[in-house]
Amino acid sequence: MRLLLVGPPGAGKGTQAQFLAAHYSIPHISTGDIFRANLKAGTELGNQAKSFMDRGELVPDSVTNDMVKDRLTHDDVANGFLLDGYPRNIDQADFLKNVLEKAGTPLDAALEFKLENAEIIARLSGRRVCRGCGENSHIIFNPSKVAGVCDACGGELYHRKDDDAEVIAHRLDVYAEQTEPIIDYYRSAGLLRTISAIGEVSEIAARAIAALK
């Protein structure tokens, strides 16, 4: 199973990615993990990425693309992979297509998680993260027993800057402008499967597996 996930921030892709990777026994490849691994190992690509980040600039597509290409040569992708957070735009999608075609291992499916903006804003703006253990909770959907205190470790729950309404609105704009076009890209290629991202984690997981059959 060679699969990628696409959907707006707040759609719960990370949780589903872990579940699906385990279900299909394939590695969960997220761009965040690839970046951290390259930075930690001090690879040539990691150093290039770091030089942009140190200047407060976005890491260019060419560097991200090469990191993903490198990751897709590791032994553990022999039976497939699940890409999460990549591609983020049409150029990256084209790059990935070429890499996979050259390797003779084309993509099987792009799974889209669909969610209305109002729902995304409600989800993200109510999210709280523990300073102690990093556990997530939600003031409406998954409240802690004591407001502001982590159930798991007693640490302080805080509201990430990333989850402020204005920042969320900006993230959604960037998504609509840059990432949403890849949905049509994969639809045209006959690879798109779309599911609703509303409901319990287990319901969404069951939908995903049914859509990928």
- Measured from the CB atom, the residue of 130 and 204 that comes closer to Zn ion is 130
Q: Is the peptide bond before 87 cis (omega within 30 degrees of 0)?
A: yes
Can you say how many angstroms the Cα of residue 176 is from the centroid of all Cα atoms in its chain? 15
CB of 154 to Zn ion, least distance (A): 7
* Nearby residues of 142 by Cβ (< 8 Å), 6 or more positions away: 136
How far apart (Å, rounded) are the C-alpha atoms in residues 46 and 196? 36
146 binds Zn ion (CB under 5 A): no
Q: 156-191 b/e with 16+ CB inside 10 Å = b?
A: ebeeeeebeeeebeebbeebeeebbebbebbeeeeb
Q: Is 135 in the site for Zn ion (CB under 5 A)?
A: yes
171 included as an active-site residue:
yes
**151 binds Zn ion, rule: CB under 5 A:** no
Under the binding rule (CB under 5 A), the answer on residue 157 touching Zn ion is: no
Q: Which amino acid is at 155?
A: G
Site mask for Zn ion (CB under 5 A), range 17-56, x = bound: ----------------------------------------
Examine residue 155 and tell whether it contacts Zn ion (CB under 5 A). yes
d(CA 103, CA 121): 40
Catalytic residue among 50, 69, 171, 187: 171
- Residue 133 makes contact with Zn ion by CB under 5 A: yes
Residues 112-131 that bind Zn ion (CB under 5 A): 130
Residues near Zn ion (CB under 5 A) are 130, 132-133, 135, 150, 152-153, 155
> Which residues participate in catalysis according to the annotation?
13, 88, 127, 160, 171
